[in-house]
Structures are given as C-alpha cells and as structure tokens.
Chains A and B, each alone.
Chain A
C-alpha cells in the first residue's frame, strides 16, 4: 500500500492529475484496451464464429434508425456481422498486431541504434547503410517481402494462428529503421557527455554503459515514435490484409473493417466504416496523447 501511496504522491501522478486532457486520454485508452481484451465478455455477438452469421442480417443500419434491428446496436456489415461486436474483436487483433510489432521494432531498432552510436566505426557504417537501404523502400514493400519469405517457410500460413505471427514479424522488421536512426543520433550526443565519460573511466562494461546509462536518456523520442508507429502498424496490417497476405477476411481486424466499410461509404451504408474509424481514431489519439504527456513528464528539463 505504501508503494501505491508513494506513487500517487510522486511528480508523475501529480502532473497526470493536473492535465485533464491526459486523464480523458487515459480513460479512452483504458476503455478501448479493456473492451478489446475482454471482447468475448462484452460483445453481444461473436462475429468470428462463422456458423452464427446470417447473410440475411447484412447491411442493417444502427438500431436507432427505422430499419435498424435492436440486436445490432451499431448496425451490421456486408456479411451480417454486428459492427459493435466486430469493432471489439477487431480492436483486439489490431492492438495485438500493433503492440507486438511495435515492441519488436522498438527493441531491434533501439539495440541496433545504441550499438551503432556507441561503438561507431565499421559497425556503425554497416548498420546505418542497411538502414538507409531499407528506408529507400516503402515499409509496405518490406513487409510484403518478409511476408512472402515467411509464407515459403510456413506454407500453411493461411491459418489465423500463424498468419498473426507472420504479420507481426513483417511489420516489426519493416519498422526498426526510425528507431535505430533516432537512438543513434541521441546516443552520439549522450556518449560525449561527462556521465558517460565518468562511467568509462571507472571501467564499466560498454554494454552496461549503453543499456544502463545511455538508454534511459534516449527513451523519450523512442516512446513518441512508438505511439505514432502504433497507428502506422495498425494501418499497415489493414493494407496487408487487403492484399491477401494478412489476417483472413473471415476474422477482420479494425483496419480491415474500415477498409471493407470504405467500399460502402458512397452508397449510404456509412456505419460500416464510420464507427470502426471513430474507434481507431480514439484509440490512436489517446495513445498519442498519453505518449506526449509521458515524454513531457519524464523530461527533467521541463520540470
């Protein structure tokens, strides 16, 4: 209990309480995340259970319209899936893909960036040239390439279980460059500072210096990139799914749902895309705002 009390008394908690925007963002993010994780509990239907879908329910408008059905609060999509339930289930997939691939990118990019910046020399040149080459291709192309290779390795990747990890791998490996470049830049600056020199002088192991001294001082920009990257990863997943190499269309993610709905935007069936779109914007925006706040709160120079 004392630990909780100490946390509530800390500067971090104080700055959180005094930033209404952050509080709202946190509430929205928590609702999204809890709703997504607990989707089987909260969702009125299971849109991924194909046996329970009825095509005759398709294109029902939200419940408060004349032709709406009470069972489908936010209407149904072209396959008769309940939009509200699909948002919950789809957010779970999108969040899982997004978070897992961002963590992968972040870990890989940060480690390589630290190494490049701290060790320098040939290693630095090599890592950064690889990064340059990769940066000259669009991320989606890299993701497609990795996806293609993964599918040769596991030919049965059509199964949702493997498809998930293949996507995480392809998006994760395509996004590390920004992290590596940012971390390398900051590391170059930090490595010349006195505390690093001091650590060197007392003979600490280079890896310890990198990860214990330099890393905490370069995490600020990394967190900001990560929050933005989360949104990119979710949309990249939607694109991959459209190209037929992502999640199967029978288990749509939030991004896929928006893309499906996009086809019906002009024909008056706006609810298929608008509600999932609002859900995605709310999720991404709240995560971004939280990231912003975290960066400022952790920055000693702004205190």
Chain B
C-alpha cells in the first residue's frame, strides 16, 4: 500500500517535472496598459498588439511583415470594386462556436458603427455580401488596391457572443465607458484571455484548438504594465520578467553588457509629430483671445524652425531616432525620399516669422503630451517647451498618462500636442487619410487632432485610395505630402526606434509595427 502510494507520488512528480520543461511561461511588460480588451474600442498599438493574440483578422502579417492569409484563406478582385474572400473552414471561437461569414459581417458593422475607433480600417468598404457560410464579397466605394493590407487590423469578433453579452457596440473611448468586451475576450486566435486586471496584469493561455501551425511553446503569458523606467529595468535584470518594451534608451548599454540579457532594436514605422489646432477661432488653451495664432502658417513655420531636432536626437533619444521631414517612415509605401527634408533649425528666422505674424513677444499656449506612450515622450515635450521659450512662446505643458491624453486628442480638445502614428497598412494612404485629411464622415481625419484641412489634399487622398497604377499613385502621394509640408499641417519630428530588452533564452520576432506576436515566441 505504502509502496503503491509512493509510486503514484513519484509518477505525479515526474509529470510535473516533464510539463515544467515543455511548458513555458512568458512574462512581459510594457510602460503602459491597453485601455481595453475590446479590439474596436481604441486604435492604438498596445491594445491592438495585445488583443491581436486573441482576435484575428481576414488577413494577417507574416514573419517578414508580408500580408498573409488568416481568417481568409485566399482573396481576389472579381471586379474593380468587388473582392471575393474565401473564409477558413473549421475555425472555432474560444467559446466553441464556429466562425462563419455572419461573424465577419457583424464585425464590419461593429467596427464602422457608433463608438468604434477603428473605422479607418473599414472605411473604404461600402458593404459586405454573404456568398455562403464561408465566402463573402467585399464591395468598396471606389477601387481600393490596398484592401487586403488595410483589413489586417480589423479584428473579427463573435456575433453570438457579443449579442449574448450585450456588447454589440464598443464602449466609446472618448467617454471612457465599459462593457462586457472591455474586460473579456472571445476570439479565434492562438491565445485566450484568461484574466484581466486593468493596469495590474493580464494573463493569456495558449489555445489548444487553434487552427494554425503552432510555432511557439508558450502555454501561459503574463502581461504587466510597469510605468517607471527604472523599475521595469530592475524587473528584467532580476529575472522577474522575460521581456520588456520599451527598454529605456539610457539603459541599453547596461542590458547589453549583462550576460543573460539581450537587446532587439530596429526602426519603427511610427512617426512622432506635433499637432496644432487650426480650426477653432480661439484656442482652448492660450492667452490670445479672439483669434487663433495657429491659423497663420507663419506661426506654424516659426514653431517648426524653433525646434532643434538634432539636440533631441543626440540628447534625449541618445542618437537612435531618425529625424524626419515627412509624416511617414522610409519603409512605407509611397514614401517620397526627395521630400524628406526638414525646414532648417533657425531661431532668428523663427523670431522674424513670429514678429511678422503679429506676435513679436510670443504668446502662451497649453500643450498636451502623453508620458507613458512613446519613447521619452514627456522629455521631448519638455525640451520643445524650452526651445519654444527662446522665441517667446510660453508653453504650459500637461504631461499625463495616455488614458487621460488620448480622449482629448481624439475629441480634438487640444491646442498643441505631441502624438505618433503608424500607418497600419504600411501605406501612405492610411496616414494621409487618418491624420492629414479634414475630419469628416466616418474615419476620415479621425486622428487629425488639430483639424488641419486642405481640400486638395482630401481630393488627392480619395484618388490615391482608388488608384491602381503604382507610379501615378506615388506621384499623387508625393503631391499630397508636398501640400501638407507647405501648409505645415503638422510638424513631423522623428521615427523612434523599437527597443526591446529580453532574456537571451527568449526568441521573438520584431516587426516594424512594434506588435508582440506571441505565436512566434520560443522560450528555452
């Protein structure tokens, strides 16, 4: 009896040991948390990256950032504005319900409906027609060449699950609401959401019934937001976490010199820029009453020329940012290298422009800035405040957490702000449409926080979306960029690097969208 018991105990112990060797837990940290688990609530990389492990889209990204089949197995253009997508069969949501064309159509309505912040990914789509349970026709308003890339960030949710749990609409990020889907998730992806404590930790487990070929060995992944740079680095060095994003630039040498750790760094597609309210007749946060100084291009130009981007690059970004004259990064489709020139840093010219515009002694303006979103975001804002002080502009800086910051920018309740944008489709059209176009119907100008507007640019953007010829398309993109540059619709600053710190035992794939694809993570 005793022997039997000890055998059982030994067997159980052996099982535990074996599973401990195979099973791997990935513990990773970011400087901030996603605002929600609802993939339609907020169009932001941290949220889309986290939920992208749970939810899937019609198309996805491969290891080389190429567009790959995901929930759609193949697609083709059957007419200039009609695309046939064949859907993958045998896919199940995490709650066991099968994935069908109805879920896609439901997710389309949800993503373009009230409260959605991801309208930009479906705005080209006029309607979706069901062919059968596993085939759909997507009809676009105009011919839209980059449809397959554009839908890759529009995640498909379960119709029955959303209806059952009263979550058929996303909670509006500007109002900070909540519903069933903000804390829970039910996708088709390789990972399932196990538990969610906003701001504390989020736990994922591997989906044993996933349709795809498993290329990871993660059974459980624990995500913890750690705001303080030093604490995050300490957590990595002490082995408390396996991976962190972003690794503070000042700590790169220290992590590199640690025998157990490594650094992964590559340029991000994200462009950091400054926006200015060009719509209101009087700024919300300024001492100038009765008129809006930012409506004068000379003021915008003066701001631009007062910024010493080299000092920001060498001091704050420690030499690893790429100053830019355009609102898109070099690897973006339509990037125009000949236009990628910044206005020169010239304090005297800036002062002269301010005087010509009627503000020889400057003015006061409130500036909004996140302090847990981009690499050294609040530091850049402080430096810009100091640079603008030299042309007499007194900046009242509010640097705050992104949960307070983003609703203000999306609601266009800012006068002067710093933000960043990655064209998710890796195509200039997305930046032109979401950031530079006049705010209008649906997703147009959705992230244009200062409501910059030029009708010619809007018209070009529409044409670019419908153009099939690459050369003509690139020429129009370049023209639109030139207009935006001459207008100084925004002040582009730089492309930031993606910098991850991790244990040497962890293998990951780093793509220029700075998403964490857990399906390619190997933990030794």
Interface of A toward B, CB cutoff 8 Å: 49-51, 53, 55-56, 58-59, 78-80, 156, 158-160, 242-245, 248-250, 262-269
Given contacts A50-B389, A55-B315, A58-B315, contact A267 B400 (CB under 8 A): no
- A156 to B283: give the CA distance in the assembly, Å: 12
- A262 to B230: give the CA distance in the assembly, Å: 6
Determine the chain B residues whose CB is within 8 A of the CB of A78 once the complex forms: 315-316, 379
A58 CB, nearest partner CB in chain B, Å:
4
B417 CB, nearest partner CB in chain A, Å:
13
Contact B396 A51 (CB under 8 A): no
Determine the chain B residues whose CB is within 8 A of the CB of A55 once the complex forms: 308, 311-312, 315-316, 383, 386-387
Q: Is residue B477 within 8 Å, beta carbon to beta carbon, of the partner chain?
A: no
Interface string of B361-405 (1 = CB under 8 A from A): 000001000010000001101110111111010111111110010
Interface of B toward A, CB cutoff 8 Å: 228-230, 233-234, 237, 248, 250-251, 253-254, 285, 308, 311-312, 314-316, 366, 371, 378-379, 381-383, 385-390, 392, 394-401, 404
A38 CB, nearest partner CB in chain B, Å:
24
Would you give 23 A-B contacts (Cβ < 8 Å), ordered by A?
A49-B389, A50-B394, A51-B390, A53-B386, A55-B308, A55-B311, A55-B383, A56-B315, A78-B316, A79-B382, A158-B366, A158-B398, A242-B371, A243-B400, A243-B401, A244-B401, A249-B378, A249-B381, A249-B397, A250-B382, A262-B228, A266-B237, A267-B254
A117 CB, nearest partner CB in chain B, Å:
40
Contact B382 A266 (CB under 8 A): no
Contact of A263 among B250, B312, B396, B400 (CB under 8 A): B250
Contact B382 A59 (CB under 8 A): no
Contact B404 A59 (CB under 8 A): no
Determine the chain B residues whose CB is within 8 A of the CB of A264 once the complex forms: 230, 250
Contact A79 B379 (CB under 8 A): yes
- A159 to B394: give the CA distance in the assembly, Å: 11
- A231 to B316: give the CA distance in the assembly, Å: 31
- A281 to B191: give the CA distance in the assembly, Å: 48
Contact of B389 among A51, A244, A248, A269 (CB under 8 A): A51
Given contacts A51-B390, A53-B386, contact A244 B398 (CB under 8 A): yes
A7 CB, nearest partner CB in chain B, Å:
47
- A55 to B311: give the CA distance in the assembly, Å: 6
Contact B285 A158 (CB under 8 A): yes
Contact of A265 among B230, B314, B404 (CB under 8 A): B230
Contact of A50 among B234, B248, B314, B386 (CB under 8 A): B386
A150 CB, nearest partner CB in chain B, Å:
14
Most B CB atoms within 10 A — which of A53, A249, A262? A249
Determine the chain B residues whose CB is within 8 A of the CB of A244 once the complex forms: 371, 398-401, 404
Nearest CB in chain A to that of B315: its residue: A58
- A248 to B378: give the CA distance in the assembly, Å: 11
Contact B253 A267 (CB under 8 A): yes
Determine the chain A residues whose CB is within 8 A of the CB of B390 once the complex forms: 50-51
Contact A156 B285 (CB under 8 A): yes
Contact B248 A248 (CB under 8 A): no
Contact of B248 among A53, A156, A243, A263 (CB under 8 A): A263
Contact A263 B230 (CB under 8 A): yes
Given contacts A55-B316, A244-B399, A244-B400, contact A249 B254 (CB under 8 A): no
Contact B248 A267 (CB under 8 A): yes
Q: Name B's interface SS.
A: helix
- A160 to B364: give the CA distance in the assembly, Å: 13
B281 CB, nearest partner CB in chain A, Å:
18
Determine the chain A residues whose CB is within 8 A of the CB of B386 once the complex forms: 50-51, 53, 55, 79-80, 250
A224 CB, nearest partner CB in chain B, Å:
31
Nearest CB in chain A to that of B308: its residue: A55
User: With contacts A78-B316, A244-B371, A263-B229 known, what are 5 further pairs, Cβ within 8 A?
Assistant: A50-B388, A78-B379, A156-B285, A263-B248, A267-B250
A276 CB, nearest partner CB in chain B, Å:
15
Contact B396 A158 (CB under 8 A): yes
- A19 to B396: give the CA distance in the assembly, Å: 48
Most B CB atoms within 10 A — which of A51, A53, A55, A159? A55
Determine the chain B residues whose CB is within 8 A of the CB of A53 once the complex forms: 386, 389
A248 CB, nearest partner CB in chain B, Å:
5
- A177 to B396: give the CA distance in the assembly, Å: 34
Contact of A269 among B233, B237, B250, B394 (CB under 8 A): B250
Determine the chain A residues whose CB is within 8 A of the CB of B401 once the complex forms: 243-244
- A79 to B308: give the CA distance in the assembly, Å: 13
Determine the chain B residues whose CB is within 8 A of the CB of A59 once the complex forms: 315
Contact B379 A267 (CB under 8 A): no
Determine the chain A residues whose CB is within 8 A of the CB of B230 once the complex forms: 262-266
Determine the chain A residues whose CB is within 8 A of the CB of B312 once the complex forms: 55
- A159 to B234: give the CA distance in the assembly, Å: 35
Given contacts A51-B389, A55-B316, A79-B382, contact A266 B400 (CB under 8 A): no
Given contacts A56-B311, A243-B401, contact A250 B395 (CB under 8 A): yes
Determine the chain A residues whose CB is within 8 A of the CB of B371 once the complex forms: 242, 244
Determine the chain A residues whose CB is within 8 A of the CB of B394 once the complex forms: 50
A262 CB, nearest partner CB in chain B, Å:
5
B393 CB, nearest partner CB in chain A, Å:
9
- A268 to B255: give the CA distance in the assembly, Å: 13
Determine the chain A residues whose CB is within 8 A of the CB of B253 once the complex forms: 267
B301 CB, nearest partner CB in chain A, Å:
20
Nearest CB in chain A to that of B391: its residue: A51
Most B CB atoms within 10 A — which of A50, A56, A159? A50
Contact A248 B397 (CB under 8 A): yes
Determine the chain A residues whose CB is within 8 A of the CB of B404 once the complex forms: 244
Nearest CB in chain A to that of B248: its residue: A263
Nearest CB in chain B to that of A269: its residue: B250
Contact of B254 among A49, A262, A266 (CB under 8 A): A266
Determine the chain B residues whose CB is within 8 A of the CB of A79 once the complex forms: 379, 382-383, 386
Determine the chain B residues whose CB is within 8 A of the CB of A158 once the complex forms: 285, 366, 396-398
Determine the chain B residues whose CB is within 8 A of the CB of A51 once the complex forms: 386, 389-390, 392
- A245 to B401: give the CA distance in the assembly, Å: 10
Determine the chain A residues whose CB is within 8 A of the CB of B399 once the complex forms: 244, 248-249
B230 CB, nearest partner CB in chain A, Å:
5
A12 CB, nearest partner CB in chain B, Å:
44
- A59 to B311: give the CA distance in the assembly, Å: 12
Nearest CB in chain A to that of B362: its residue: A51
Determine the chain A residues whose CB is within 8 A of the CB of B308 once the complex forms: 55
Nearest CB in chain A to that of B392: its residue: A51
- A159 to B251: give the CA distance in the assembly, Å: 33
- A245 to B400: give the CA distance in the assembly, Å: 7
Contact B234 A266 (CB under 8 A): yes
Determine the chain A residues whose CB is within 8 A of the CB of B254 once the complex forms: 266-268
